Structure 1
């Protein structure tokens, strides 16, 4: 069950990231998130009401903390997608997001069967392989600060997502889906704070998300991201943190493939190898 849920979360995250990145490229990260985050909150709120449970203070607080970290990660991630190739940004973020929960799981005393452990390690290797790109002699960051480059922002976002994964595990599963509602509220708080900061500084917020197509993509991205949150939450509370987080972090394969189709971003041999390794890793985890 955990494998199916986590891989379904990876699929939803992968499509959501591609769509969100497409919107951010036409507008800005913050403008895209002003559409994605509220619709995501509406989706998880409806799911929590239908799913039952109670909004207990403790789990909601864990969820809110997770959302604050996840919200910061979303801003960094969408900014990275707007600045660098999706086929590089998504895997770098995912690798950073996977390592932290694995370390946390081991620290919690989680122990995997031999075949599952090998599968998890293969998945981590796969994420790294898919993230490799050709050297560009530093031209990719020429004319802008290194810390604001796509890969660096992707690593920052991945770290935030890793904290998000760990905190949702800590939220427990005795309150239904309400911790996810808390998480989406945290997302909204971060986005609102970022918008306020930009407004007070007199910064240009960039072009609006306009047009039916772009708005529809933003709403679909937010809905899928919220659905992925729910699937991951169910996965991590039906199995081990390290296993659920690593399988969920395979979402770059979806983003990379979609970017290949939509933007003709070339899939290098090493990235193809990475995807093959990912399939082998998932197969071992499933058998185990």
Structure 2
């Protein structure tokens, strides 16, 4: 019971950290390239994770677990690339909700196969979470949606789901060294992609602190998700951490005075119900 409670706490705080990171990162991208923000995030992880590993005296795990860290870096970076290609194609209305829901469904299926079917309350909670995520981030899709428009959002969701699964496969043994490897791999991949597309720009001096703050929140979210995965079920950790869009939207509402439309309030309420049900 204690481990499940910890998983819930870590999962929720992970959503808070990732959601705050997305909010701060979104503010930064209004003044610099989104790719710059993502690249700085990877660099922050490369710096912070080894320091934490040394502070907490974490021994370097076997090659098997480091490989799972490398897989996490590959899937995470590839997911980001697919996500940004989707956004560049002007399909923002379907990218975020579809990628978010798919990325949550895959670890839920994986966890059910490996850890058994969760309780009925948690299953209902997962359903409410999916509804919440969709209503919070989904914009008007419009009548001209084609099957081809779904390709990259689906790919991004699958890759992010595999990213979560990869973290689960090393979190019980070690956290910081595998996460270091994941950030190195992601940095290499994203740097190569940016060099090919020439889509990065040097941030202005007054934006650097905001970008660094976004990197800190993103790095914290990764650590907290790994802890949630270590102390409890992967599906619980994934679903709760996937509620991060609710945090981003609420921060925009509070700090930027943006108004929530009715469907977003439905999503927020559904997310709160999901948290309660998953906690039972």
Question: Do the structures match in fold with TM over 0.5?
Answer: yes
Output the CA distance in 1 between the equivalents of 2:161 and 2:56. Answer: 26
Output the CA distance in 2 between the equivalents of 1:58 and 1:88. Answer: 36
Aligned to 1:101: 107
Moved more, 15-24 or 245-254: 15-24
Is 2:10 the counterpart of 1:5? yes
Change in 2 beyond 3 A, CA 1:209/1:153:
farther
Aligned to 1:233: 226
Aligned to 1:279: 272
Change in 2 beyond 3 A, CA 1:179/1:18:
same
Output the CA distance in 2 between the equivalents of 1:81 and 1:126. Answer: 22
- 3-state DSSP of counterpart to 1:26: coil
Query: How much has 1:181 moved relative to structure 2?
Result: 1.4
Moved more, 80-89 or 267-276: 80-89
Partners of 2:41 and 2:219 within 8 A in 1 = no
Moved more, 170-179 or 255-264: 255-264
Query: How much has 1:85 moved relative to structure 2?
Result: 10
Aligned to 1:168: 167
- 3-state DSSP of counterpart to 1:174: coil
User: Which of 100, 124, 128 is matched with 1:118 structurally?
Assistant: 124
Moved more, 101-110 or 274-283: 101-110
Query: How much has 1:135 moved relative to structure 2?
Result: 4.5
Change in 2 beyond 3 A, CA 1:268/1:84:
farther
Query: How much has 1:52 moved relative to structure 2?
Result: 2.1
**Cα deviation 1:140-182 (Å, max 9, x = unaligned):** 99xxxx75xxx87555433322111011111242234222112
Aligned to 1:48: 53
Query: How much has 1:60 moved relative to structure 2?
Result: 1.0
Provide the TM-score with structure 2 as the length reference: 0.85
Provide the TM-score with structure 1 as the length reference: 0.83
Backbone CA RMSD of aligned residues:
2.8
Partners of 1:44 and 1:227 within 8 A in 2 = no
**Cα deviation 1:1-33 (Å, max 9, x = unaligned):** 100000000011111112223323433232222
Is 2:260 the counterpart of 1:267? yes
Moved more, 10-19 or 38-47: 38-47
Partners of 2:76 and 2:159 within 8 A in 1 = yes
How many matched pairs? 273
